[in-house]
């Protein structure tokens, strides 16, 4: 059996789980680089029976799956992966399994980005190294007494709300199905999206990408924000109109942003966001910690073994 581990950027997959338990009959190949071109991905992966993939780093649309004749099993980290066409895998008899996951590392990173952009920390580091002590920096945002707007108040958003309240922030929240009662349980105030964008010192996105949320935050919504307001997105890139966000940052219609997710990942070297000094770029690493990776990779080994035994676990299927 040929097994490939994809997109192991940190080169730790074989260290953080015991793959030897799968036996000598499994030939494991690890790829540390990322291929974006579908022809290249198809050529590379055609020989493999099993693919172990990290979140949504490599996409598996129907067009790619149809070019992988040997593929029988995909194991993805965590319990959801929007980059896999589950209808196509079901039709082709390809089993798709997930692993356990945790929100702890993501919550910590979200708050790291909130504090970093609030204090213009990355630009401060760069100017200090260049011998320009505090030159050209924004005065920091006092979290206490300021207003944070949370677009989405689910598992992650609720935890960010709790931390914001600890810092003494006013918490506004909005999502399509959010009720005033649920918002109050989380210490937040339900307001219309327009009011949230207008009143917040800092806006943070915590929605799942879907047909309803794709492009939700566009030029109109960003245009409602104050010039001194900040924007954080650790959810999914396509929830925000990226071109509109670039324009707002470039024209300083908002003060800054911290982004962990993007329309195209990895970002191409000529992407306009990379030329802006009022945005913090985090390479989709909110969940990237040793403990989380260990949970993911150990879960992959467990899932492959269970599938070989004829009893697949944590099987992903269409809703």
- Say which DSSP state 61 is in: -
Q: What is the mean pLDDT of the chain?
A: 97
Q: Are residues 141 and 248 in the same domain?
A: yes
Of 56, 189, 221, 265, catalytic: 265
* 298 assigned to active site: no
- What is the percent of the chain with per-residue pLDDT over 70, rounded to a whole number? 100
pLDDT of residue 259: 98
Q: Is residue 66 part of a domain?
A: yes
Residue 18 vs residues 21, 53, 73: alpha-carbon distances, Å: 6, 17, 19
Residue 319 has pLDDT above 80, yes or no: no
pLDDT of residue 253: 98
d(C-alpha 240, C-alpha 220), whole Å: 11
Collapsed DSSP state (helix, strand, coil) of residue 148? strand
Q: Are residues 275 and 237 in the same domain?
A: yes
Of 55, 123, 159, 284, catalytic: 284
Q: Are residues 224 and 293 in the same domain?
A: no
Rounded to 5°, the CA angle 181-184-187 comes to 160
d(C-alpha 298, C-alpha 75), whole Å: 11
* 80 assigned to active site: no
Task: Name which residue leads in pLDDT, 80 or 306.
Answer: 306
* 251 assigned to active site: no
Number of domain units in the chain? 2
Q: Are residues 117 and 186 in the same domain?
A: yes
CATH at 253? 3.40.50.720
Domain range holding 95? 2-102+289-308
Decide: 95 and 73 in contact? Cβ < 8 Å. yes
Q: Are residues 195 and 210 in the same domain?
A: yes
Q: Is residue 313 part of a domain?
A: no
In this prediction, residue 102 has a pLDDT band, given cuts at 50, 70 and 90, of confident
What's the full length of the chain, in residues?
319
Q: Are residues 211 and 132 in the same domain?
A: yes
User: Count H helices, E strands: the chain?
Assistant: 11, 12
pLDDT of residue 318: 85
pLDDT in tens, 250-272: 999 999 999 999 999 999 999 99
Q: Is residue 319 part of a domain?
A: no
pTM recorded for the entire structure: 0.94
Of 55, 123, 206, 236, catalytic: 236
């Amino acid at each position: 059996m040929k097994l490939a581990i994809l997109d192991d950027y940190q080169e730790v997959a074989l260290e953080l789980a015991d793959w030897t338990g799968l036996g000598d009959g499994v030939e494991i190949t690890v790829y540390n680089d990322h291929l974006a071109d579908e022809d290249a991905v198809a050529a590379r992966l055609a020989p493999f029976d099993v693919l172990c993939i990290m979140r949504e780093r490599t996409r598996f649309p129907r067009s790619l799956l149809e070019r992988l004749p040997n593929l029988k099993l995909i194991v993805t980290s965590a319990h959801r992966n929007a980059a896999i066409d589950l209808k196509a895998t079901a039709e082709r008899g390809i089993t798709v399994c997930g692993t356990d996951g945790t929100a702890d590392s993501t919550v910590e990173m979200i708050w790291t980005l909130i504090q970093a952009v609030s204090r213009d920390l990355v630009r401060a580091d760069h100017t200090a190294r260049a011998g320009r002590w505090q030159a050209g920096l924004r005065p920091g945002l006092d979290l206490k007494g300021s207003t944070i707007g949370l677009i989405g108040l689910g598992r992650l958003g609720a935890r960010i709300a709790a931390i914001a309240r600890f810092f003494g922030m006013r918490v506004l929240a909005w999502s399509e199905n959010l009720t005033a009662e649920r918002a109050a349980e989380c210490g937040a105030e339900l307001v219309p999206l327009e009011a949230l964008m207008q009143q917040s010192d800092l806006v943070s996105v915590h929605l799942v990408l879907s047909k309803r949320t794709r492009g939700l935050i566009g030029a109109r919504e960003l245009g409602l924000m104050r010039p001194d307001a900040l924007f954080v997105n650790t959810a999914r890139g396509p929830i925000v109109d990226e071109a509109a966000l670039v324009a707002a940052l470039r024209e300083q219609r908002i003060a800054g942003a911290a982004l962990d997710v993007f329309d195209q990942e990895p970002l191409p070297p000529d992407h306009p966001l990379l030329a802006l000094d009022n945005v913090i770029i985090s390479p989709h690493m909110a969940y990237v910690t040793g403990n989380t990776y260990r949970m993911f990779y150990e879960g992959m080994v467990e899932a492959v073994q269970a599938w070989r035994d004829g009893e697949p676990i944590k099987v992903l299927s269409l809703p």
